[in-house]
Structure formats: C-alpha cells, structure tokens
Structure 1
Amino acid sequence: MSLSQVDVEEVRSPEPLAVDTAQFLRIYVVANPKSGQNSRAREPIEAALEVFGDEAKLYRWAPDEEVSKAVDRAIADGAELIVAAGGDGTVMAVAQAMLGKNVPMAVLPLGTFNFFARGLRLSEDATEAARQILKGDTRQIRVGTVEGQVFLNNASLGIYPKILKAREAIYARWGRHRLVAYWSVIRTFLKFQKPMKVEFRTEDLHDTRSTPLIFVARSAYQLDFFGLRGVRAITDDKFAVLIAKGKTRGELFRLAWRLVTRQVQEGRDYDVLRCREFTVSLLDKRRALLAFDGEKARMNAPFEFRMHPEPLTIVIPEESEEA
C-alpha cells in the first residue's frame, strides 16, 4: 500500500537542495563503539567504506563521551557528509548532534528494525545503501523533540516503553532478533495492570483520558507499516498522536493482533490527534518511562512535544521521491 492510500490527500515531497552527493570526497562514518565488536556490524561498515572511497573515514565515540563529540571531530576534520552507521537509536543520536550544522547527514542501516532508514527507502544491504547515498539527493526535514530529546520516528509513554525495557533483558539472553523482540510484547502484556490517567493539551484541545499508550509519531513509513492513520499530519510537519483505547490485557492482545493483521481502526482501537505541539501530564504519578526511537529514559511529567526549530538535512536515494 502506498503512502497516499493511507490518507486521502496527496503526500507532498519537499524540494531538493542544490547539493550533489556524488561530489563529496570526504565522507565520514560515525558509528557506535559496540558496532565494531562483531562481524554483523564490522563487515557492513567496511563494505560501505570501500564504496565511499579512499577519502572515507570511520569515527567511533568513546563509551563515556557524547555522540556529538565524535560528530564535531569529524566536521572539524573536514567532513562533507556524515553517515550515521547503526540502528534507529544511533541515527537519532547522530541527528541530534547534526542539527544546526552546515553538513548533510546520511544513514547506513545496521539495526534490528531500521524504521527511519526504511522510511527513506534505503536498502538494508550496506553495500547497496552506500551506493544509494552516493547517488542520492538531500532534503531538509523537521524532527520532533520531547524535553529537549530529538526523535525521528516516534516517542511514547505507557506500555511501549515497558516493552522496550523487557526487550533489553530478552536481547541480553537470546540476541537481537525481530522474533525475540515480538516476544517482549507478549511478556509485557501479561504483566499489564491498568491504564494511565493523563491530561493533555494541543493547540486547540484540552482533555483527560485513561489509556495504556500515547504514541507520538513523526514517521509516515512507520504509520503505513502498521496500517495506522496520520500520514497527512507528518507531511504537514505535524505530529500524529495516537491514543490507544485498550484498558485490559484482553483488549491489548486484540489490539496487537489487529496491528499485525493491519485491521486496526481509528475510533475503535485508537484516536488520532494532528498537532504541532502536544503536552501531556500524568494524573496518578509524577514520573514515567519515556521511549524515543527505541531508547528510553525515566523523566518527570509534564512532557512537552515540539518540532525542533532547525531542519535536519538528510540524504535520500534518488529514486525515493515519496520518502
């Protein structure tokens, strides 16, 4: 199903910048230090560096330093293009460091799900993705923030951050596989007790609700992937805020099954708010686990979701105008 089929109105493509990535000589790849510890990550990075050419370099940030320091080092060394090598969490961290910089960014997908890279229509084969980057165009996109933290795909509170917490323990025992990730969903649902009580505000709405999940989306691809509404909000530089309606374990399992089979329905299973600003307060607690692009942190409420004022310049494949 194409993106334009999800919402009736046409999805618009931004105009390209006057940048030819094929002319970049200094392409610097920024990678998580852990990605070099196994061949699953090391070999794809080496393959991509070979495609990028002799001028390409690899930068890793130390375990005790911020990603921004590796990005700043690469730019100071003359980088003309920064390539984030990793999964959605690594890409998110590099993107936060790249905002406000006069250097474009590209993505080499090496994660489990790679939703951001797949939304750009990048191949999950490192060699092919590197070739796409060399031939790609640049676009300026808007990214979301929550309490100063950038996110590219989504941010959420409620049961999904708990799924991510359970996933970490399962990954540590069984490895990082998509099937293992799905088991973390079942495990978390079985422990579900009650929904959150929240109060939220948008530019023109104030309401209270009991819900197991608030999902703030900035990825049209991810919405389309699960058959969810809200793509037009993304193309209009807004958030698509999905508020789930399940309040019991049984309702959560039914909702999960409808997601897998693409039978979810707006109104029955969830509501959608389309907004540029979204603030949510918790009525039954002060702190909550917040998730953003696969990462998580415990923060104090209220949570304020905003568009970052500066655009992110990103490389997309030349054949992917709909991205």
Structure 2
Amino acid sequence: MHFIINPASGNGRHSLTEAQLRGHFPSDTIKVEFTSYRGHASELAKRALEDKPDYVIACGGDGTVNEVASCLISTDVILGILPLGTGNGLASSLGLPLDLRQSIELLRGGKVSPIDVGTVNGQPFFSNMGISADAQVVKRYDAIKGRSLWGYVKSSLLTAFQYRPSETIFEYRGHQEKLLPFLFFISNAQEMGQGLSLTPRASLNDGLLDLFIVPEINFIEKAALGIHILCRTVPKFKKGRAIQLR
C-alpha cells in the first residue's frame, strides 16, 4: 500500500501522520510519501507504479485524489481515499466516512468497486467539471486561504455579479445547440463538495455523465439558484436543464 499525503489539505489542519498509519498497517506493507506542491501527487503516483503496489491511497482533498486517480486509469492498481480536504466531493459521493479513524478502518476492510471517469481535452475527471460560471467559482474558491462553506458562497456571489456568458456550441446525440450558458456543468458524482450538489441524481458507476445547464439569467434568478443549491433543491429550479449522456 502506497500512501500519498497532502499536508496542506483541509487548510493543513488534518492530523494524519506516517506514524499513525504504521499503527494501523504492518510496517513492511506500506510506503508513505508527502506532497510539496500542486502536481506533486501525480509525480509520486507515477513513480509509485514502478514498484507495482496493490493500492495507491490518495490522502487529501478532491484535487489530490484527482491527481493520483488520473495515474491509475486502466491499471490493476486500486485507488484508496482518505478524505482530508475541505470539500471531499468524490469521497462523499462514494459514501466514505469523513472521520479519519473510520476511513482508515474502512480502508483496512472495505470492498472494491469500479467507477466511471470522464475526460475533457484528454484530461480525466472523476467528480465534475464546468466551462462557465461554475468554473469561475472554483477558480476563485481555490485562491481563498482557509477554505470553507462561506468561502464558496462568497466566490459564488462575486461570480454572479461579474460573470458574462460566452457563446457555446453543444453537440449531442446528433443534435447541435448554440447556448449562452450561465452554468454548463458536467458531473460524474452527486456532490461538488461541502455537501452541495447540482446533480443529485448522478451516479459514479452508471456509465453516464450528468449535465446541468442554466441559460443566461438575471440577478434575482441567480439568487434563487443559490438558495436552491444551499437548500439542496436544485431539481426544483425551473430554469435549469438536466441531461444524462454517455
């Protein structure tokens, strides 16, 4: 078992140490490494594959998980997750406990199951991706120190004021549309992180990607959408369109 730990995940407040892991697993069966910068988890995961491990465990948030998982596609190596981030959208969608001790115990005896993966411009994603205001929200949120639900709300409010939609050509099932979307969100998982969701019906292993599209809307409608997101009632937002595609 090869553990890759991001010490900065969860605003650097998590308590996972190498000594703690060695207290739960036989020392001769594990290797532990720590990331030092963005992209380092991918480098460590690729190098870990040279040792032919049975498992590579990503210990961090969704960014760390995505870096590690991207290196394991189409290999026989099993991905493990110890969720240590502020969002933990993929872990939550998988039903993994966010308590560190519980997640370690699950890792010791948990079952293995396959999940789908999407790609955009050849880059894999496991939870979700977006090309409109949703992407701007994430970009702002990533730049915030001390990430929290309030940080996500603040990023969303700033984006709602400033974002200007761009014309988008959407082709699917032999059909083409020209859109001016406020949101063009593609998801493989139920959660975005922080317990929030735009695609509550999504499944990680149904062979489908869930799209949520919102056209250009006025500020009152943006506020209504925000309330639906916080109240977890997005399917009731009448201006939203949900599509499932292979």
| Structure 1 length-normalised TM | 0.67
Q: Could you say what the CA RMSD is over the residues aligned between the two structures, in angstroms?
A: 2.7
- 1:143-292 to structure 2, matched below 5 A, reads 143-169=117-143, 171-172=144-145, 175-192=146-163, 194-221=164-191, 226=197, 228=199, 230-231=201-202, 235-265=205-235, 268-276=238-246
In structure 2, the residue matched to 1:92 is 66
In structure 1, the residue matched to 2:25 is 52
Per chain length, whose mean CA-contact separation is higher, i.e. which structure has more relative contact order (CA < 8 Å, sep 6+)? 1
- Tell me the distance in 2 between the aligned counterparts of 1:167 and 1:68: 22
Q: Which amino acid aligns with 1:166?
A: R
Q: Secondary structure at the match of 2:131?
A: strand
* CA deviation string 1:231-276 (max 9, x = no partner): 37x5531111111134222211111112222333467121122212
Task: Report if aligned partners of 1:52, 1:130 keep a CA contact under 8 Å in 2.
Answer: no
Q: Which amino acid aligns with 2:169?
A: E
- Cα gap change, 1:263/1:177 in structure 2, threshold over 3 Å: closer, same or farther? closer
In structure 2, the residue matched to 1:113 is 87
In structure 1, the residue matched to 2:45 is 71
User: What is the deviation of 1:142?
Assistant: 1.6
In structure 2, the residue matched to 1:138 is 112
- Tell me the distance in 1 between the aligned counterparts of 2:95 and 2:79: 15
- Tell me the distance in 2 between the aligned counterparts of 1:258 and 1:267: 7
Task: Report if aligned partners of 1:48, 1:126 keep a CA contact under 8 Å in 2.
Answer: no
Name stretches of at least 5 consecutive residues in structure 2 with no aligned partner. Answer: none
Q: Which amino acid aligns with 1:226?
A: S
Name stretches of at least 5 consecutive residues in structure 1 with no aligned partner. Answer: 1-26, 277-323
In structure 2, the residue matched to 1:81 is 55
Which aligned segments of 4 or more residues in structure 1 are displaced greater than 6 angstroms? none
Identity among equivalent positions (%) equals 24
